[in-house]
Amino acid sequence: TLVGPLTEALGRDGSTRAYFDIDLPLVGVLAIMERTGAAVDCDRLAELGASTQAELDELSARIFDMAGETFNLDSPKQLSRILFEVLGLTPLKKNQRGYSTDAAVLKELCAVHELPALVLRYRELAKIKSTYIDALPRMRAGDGRVHTCFNETVTTTGRLSSSDPNLQNIPVRTEFGRQIRESFVPLAPDERFLSADYSQIELRLLAHLSGDEHLVAAFCSGADFHAATAARVFDVPVEEVTPELRSRAKAVNFGIVYGQQAFGLSQSLGIPFGEAKEMIERYFAAYPGVRSYLDATIEEAKAKGYAETMFGRKRHIPELKASNAATRGFGERTAMNHPMQGSAADIIKLAMTEVQRRLMAEGFKARLLLQVHDELDFSVPEGEIEALSSMVREVMEGVAELRVPLVADVSWGASWAESH
């Protein structure tokens, strides 16, 4: 009885396509992935757990030595007493329970004393140990695999999320995250772990949506995109772009996608505010189409009350009407980012549905195991690697027509970590 009214409501909302073409067909795919599960090497996790515990013990010994006494490291109140009374550091902000010892405060205090850095490391290790190293072996089902839940209606952008356990949250760039990924292995001894991920999809969507001729040209030329940006922003020939300039240009590129302002950029690069402001201004001078696109996106979202993806997925942004400037700023950043992050989410969902259809239609033994934002992960028999790679690349690169090429990188190895 609800089908009619709800279908009509989707039509009135302009969300028919996002629901019927993208979200609904994916339900079956997610059910297959959840049932398949992911295989975990518990012996490797146990080794990692033992070495992590040894490092935690060593860290706490060093912290107690510096503090001149033992205390409960997991108690913010006791840590606060050590930092601000025993060591005499200057408190930076208060909360209901006294002086804050959150990550932002500890990060700032690292500049004046080495104990906060040790506490940050201790917290990071302890959290990962309890969330993954200790928890994963306990979460295995009767078939010896871990079965995460993929959620389609949790995020505001349209991305999938994963829970019990959250496999999308394993730190990417740390050695520790890599070691946890090493314990995710193929489903059978003669199979490999294969990863396919979109290269810079949100930046490519920025080029497509803004239509900025220089940004589009940079992607169509096939050159190193961040180096090309550095050359334009810092006004040097591409061959003279240093690794340092390239990494700065990369930070600006991704900062623009997330609606980052000069303050955010100065924090992430550790440079003065004025310098960050100038870099952003130079970026917009180099890519004028991006500036006008982002301004128009904010204006449109203010007028309509929502931002939308290429496929009509809406995100309502009440913050745009807030009287508080910081809340409004958050709304504006959200409005700028949603068309890119949300369209990327839509595109990979369409790709997943088509990949799973072809896995079944073409008789592949390979199984789709996981999705982590821009990446699809498979367990694949040795003999199917070439066929699967070309099929997945063809689907991922051909799923949407953009002004710039969509590029998927495919690699494989003996574990999740090795497939990158």
Q: How many domains does the chain have?
A: 3
Asked whether residue 307 is domain-assigned, the answer is no
* pLDDT tens-place values along the chain, 420 residues long: 899 999 999 999 999 999 999 999 999 999 999 999 999 999 999 999 999 999 999 999 999 999 999 999 999 999 999 999 899 888 877 877 778 888 888 988 898 899 999 999 999 899 989 989 999 999 999 999 999 999 999 999 999 999 999 999 888 888 888 999 999 999 999 999 999 999 999 999 999 999 999 999 999 988 889 999 999 889 899 999 999 999 999 999 988 888 888 888 888 888 889 988 998 999 999 999 999 999 999 999 999 999 999 999 999 999 999 999 999 999 999 999 999 999 999 999 999 999 999 999 999 999 999 999 899 999 999 999 999 999 999 999 999 999 999 999 999 999 999 998
CA–CA separation, 139 and 45 (whole Å): 13
Categorise residue 330: left if φ over 0, alpha if ψ from -120 to 50, beta otherwise: alpha
Residues 197, 241 share a domain: no
Q: Cβ neighbours of residue 148 under 8 Å, at least 6 residues apart?
A: 34, 37, 38, 162, 163, 164, 165, 166, 167, 370
Domain CATH number, residue 245: 1.10.150
Asked whether residue 403 is domain-assigned, the answer is yes
Asked whether residue 83 is domain-assigned, the answer is yes
381: amino acid identity, one letter:
P
Q: Cβ neighbours of residue 105 under 8 Å, at least 6 residues apart?
A: 92, 93
Query: What's the pLDDT at 222?
Result: 83
Residues 237, 294 share a domain: yes
Query: What's the pLDDT at 23?
Result: 96
Asked whether residue 19 is domain-assigned, the answer is yes
- Which residue in this structure is represented by tokens 């996608």? 257
Domain CATH number, residue 404: 3.30.70.370
Residues 197, 213 share a domain: no
Asked whether residue 306 is domain-assigned, the answer is no
Q: What are the tokens at 98?
A: 């006294």
Query: What's the pLDDT at 30?
Result: 98
Asked whether residue 316 is domain-assigned, the answer is no
Q: Which residue(s) pair with 39 in the sheet?
A: 145, 185
Strands 98-99 and 94-95 turn out to be antiparallel
Cα torsion angle, 96, 102, 107, 111, sign: positive
- Which residue in this structure is represented by tokens 């009885």? 1
Residues 235, 333 share a domain: yes
Report if pTM > 0.85. Answer: yes
Query: What's the pLDDT at 230?
Result: 92
Provide the residue range defining the domain that includes 355: 3-37+147-201+346-419
Residues 333, 369 share a domain: no
For 316-376, the DSSP string reads E-GGGG-SSHHHHHHHHHHHHHHHHHHHHHHHHHHHHHHHHHHHHHTT---EEEEEETTEE
**How crowded is the C-beta side of 184, counted as CA atoms within 13 Å?**
28
